[in-house]
Amino acid sequence: ETGVTQSPTHLIKTRGQQVTLRCSSQSGHNTVSWYQQALGQGPQFIFQYYREEENGRGNFPPRFSGLQFPNYSSELNVNALELDDSALYLCASSRFHGAVEQYFGPGTRLTVT
Amino acid sequence: AQSVAQPEDQVNVAEGNPLTVKCTYSVSGNPYLFWYVQYPNRGLQFLLKYITGDNLVKGSYGFEAEFNKSQTSFHLKKPSALVSDSALYFCAVVSSNTGKLIFGQGTTLQVKP
């Protein structure tokens, strides 16, 4: 097990609602990346946070946003939820920006109905 | 653009037999390659990585992978499969520009007693 934790474990939301997912990085890691894994697919990069700023973004719309806090923990916010947002959301932390090794948390399973 | 391909959706092997899960990649520059395993309703667990050095990389749980630059492949192997190896396996490459992981679609490994 890595030292990366995520909450909540599972979440059910209704289309149009907003959701916040949380991630605590492994001790000593200052970079957090978020990935979306739809059913039957490989994880897709959403964005990365380093020193409290977004540092790289994948092909996701602006309604996907994030924050990183001074303790390096992070939040993923999704507004105006759509059915296709149903997925496993994975957080990964790394020791520093540019580090190739990333350590994954257990994920948050989001279901949008 | 950097990409990873896992040509097999599923691999079936008998317990005790050798297993191979295939992965090919396309990157500009030096590739940083990874294998992850995912058990049902769990996050990603790191198996092994290739950064530089020996082409044969040894990882967790008896797995190894062979980096082949001429064939742009990074196949995952294990000499003797266990039923407990049954899981979903992902090959990934790190994008040198952003540090993001680019994953293949995944291969389901089924090991039968």
**Share above pLDDT 70 across residues of chain B, in percent, rounded to a whole number:** 97
Per-residue pLDDT at A39 exceeds 70 = yes
Contact between residue B95 and residue A47 where contact means Cβ atoms under 8 Å apart: no
With an 8 Å Cβ cutoff, is A65 touching chain B?
no
Q: Which residue among A45, A90, A99 places its CB closest to the CB of B43?
A: A90
The average pLDDT across B50-60 equals 91
Residue B95's pLDDT is 73
Cis peptide leading into residue A106 (ω within 30°)? no
Residue B97's pLDDT is 62
Per-residue pLDDT at B81 exceeds 90 = yes
Taking an 8 Å cut-off on Cβ atoms, the answer to whether B103 and A90 are in contact is: no
**Share above pLDDT 90 across residues of chain A, in percent, rounded to a whole number:** 83
Residue A69 distance to chain B (closest CA, Å): 20
Residue A1's pLDDT is 67
Residue B30's pLDDT is 82
Residue A96's pLDDT is 78
Q: What Cα–Cα distance (Å) separates residue A49 from each residue in A6, A19, A74, A92?
A: 16, 19, 8, 10
pLDDT band (50, 70, 90) for residue B98? low
The average pLDDT across A20-40 equals 94
CB neighbour class for A13 (10 Å; exposed up to 12, middle 13-18, buried from 19) = middle
Nearest to A45 by CA among A36, A53, A54: A36
B35-52: pLDDT as tens digits: 999 998 778 999 999 988
C-alpha to C-alpha distance for B111 and B113, rounded to whole angstroms: 7
B53 vs A contacts (CB less than 8 Å)? none
Q: Which residue among A56, A90, A103 places its CB closest to the CB of B98?
A: A56
Taking an 8 Å cut-off on Cβ atoms, the answer to whether A45 and B51 are in contact is: no
pLDDT band (50, 70, 90) for residue A87? very high
SS3 B94: strand
C-alpha to C-alpha distance for B19 and B89, rounded to whole angstroms: 12
Cα A37–chain centre separation? 10
Taking an 8 Å cut-off on Cβ atoms, the answer to whether A105 and B43 are in contact is: yes
pLDDT band (50, 70, 90) for residue B107? very high
Taking an 8 Å cut-off on Cβ atoms, the answer to whether B32 and A100 are in contact is: yes
Which residues have CB under 8 Å from B70's CB, separation 6+? none
A100 vs B contacts (CB less than 8 Å)? 32, 49, 51, 94, 99
- For chain B, positions 72-111, list CB contacts with chain A under 8 A: 90, 92, 94, 97-106
pLDDT band (50, 70, 90) for residue B73? very high
